């Protein structure tokens, strides 16, 4: 649905411009267009858009809306029309009514020199609906929770700073090495077995 021009001099991290015969919209949770520069869910219309899921009409109705495919990707579009992925809509964390994108948190945390890799997820909170939890694999064993939170406070707005830090030996990944936030969220739903006495 998008591609970068062959003669692009400086890559900006975007997925490119919409390809010919492709229309895009960025919408909020109510299906209304968002103002330019604001993040919104990417909806796509064009000849490459599927007609529906095979023998799954309910799933089709969830993603096809008047010929538009709701991709589930939250994106921004810059002044030149380049599309940049912010995050997956289903991964968004809602803290006191504010949208928090895990990729933003992970980008900041991963810049700490003692962090090897990390993943941010939302966890239920009575006070704020959800709160940010960061799961971290250390590059340097001396990294402390307070050191990491100080780094986050320097680079993130207050409501985006993780309230929970969990150090782990590894993060769940797909067979191509993508971190699986879904599995981290699923761990919250599965009670941990009590330690054997």
List the domain boundaries for the chain.
2-86, 92-189
pLDDT per residue over 110-153, tens digit each?
Answer: 999 999 999 999 999 999 999 999 999 999 999 999 999 999 99
pTM of the predicted structure, to 2 decimals? 0.80
Band of residue 197 on the pLDDT scale cut at 50, 70, 90: very low
**Residue 122 β-bridge partners:** 132
- Homologous superfamily of domain range 92-189: ANL, C-terminal domain (3.30.300.30)
CB-CB contact of 164 with 187 (8 Å): no
CB-CB contact of 60 with 53 (8 Å): yes
CB-CB contact of 110 with 122 (8 Å): no
CB-CB contact of 11 with 4 (8 Å): yes
Whose CA is closest to 164, among 177, 155, 152? 152
Please state, in angstroms and rounded to a whole number, the distance separating the CA atoms of residues 23 and 81.
12
Class of domain 2-86 as given by CATH: mainly beta
Whose CA is closest to 91, among 184, 188, 191? 184
pLDDT per residue over 17-55, tens digit each?
Answer: 989 999 999 999 999 999 988 999 999 999 999 999 999
């Amino acid at each position: 649905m998008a591609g970068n021009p062959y003669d692009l001099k400086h890559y900006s991290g975007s997925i490119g411009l919409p390809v010919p015969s492709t229309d895009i919209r960025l919408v909020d949770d109510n299906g209304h267009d968002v103002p330019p520069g604001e993040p919104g869910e990417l909806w796509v219309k064009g000849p490459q858009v599927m007609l529906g899921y095979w023998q799954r009409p309910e799933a089709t109705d969830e993603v096809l809306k008047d010929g538009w495919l709701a991709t589930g990707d939250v994106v921004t579009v810059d002044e030149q029309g380049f599309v940049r992925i912010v995050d997956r809509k289903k991964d968004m964390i809602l803290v006191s009514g504010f949208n928090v994108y895990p990729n933003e948190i992970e980008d900041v945390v991963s810049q700490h020199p003692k962090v090897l890799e990390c993943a941010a997820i939302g966890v239920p909170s009575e006070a704020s609906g959800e709160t940010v939890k960061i799961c971290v694999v250390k590059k340097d064993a001396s990294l402390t929770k307070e050191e990491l939170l100080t780094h986050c406070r320097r680079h993130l707005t207050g409501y985006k700073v993780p309230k929970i830090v969990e150090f782990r030996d590894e993060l769940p990944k797909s067979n191509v090495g993508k971190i699986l936030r879904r599995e981290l969220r699923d761990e919250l739903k599965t009670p941990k077995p009590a330690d054997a006495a």
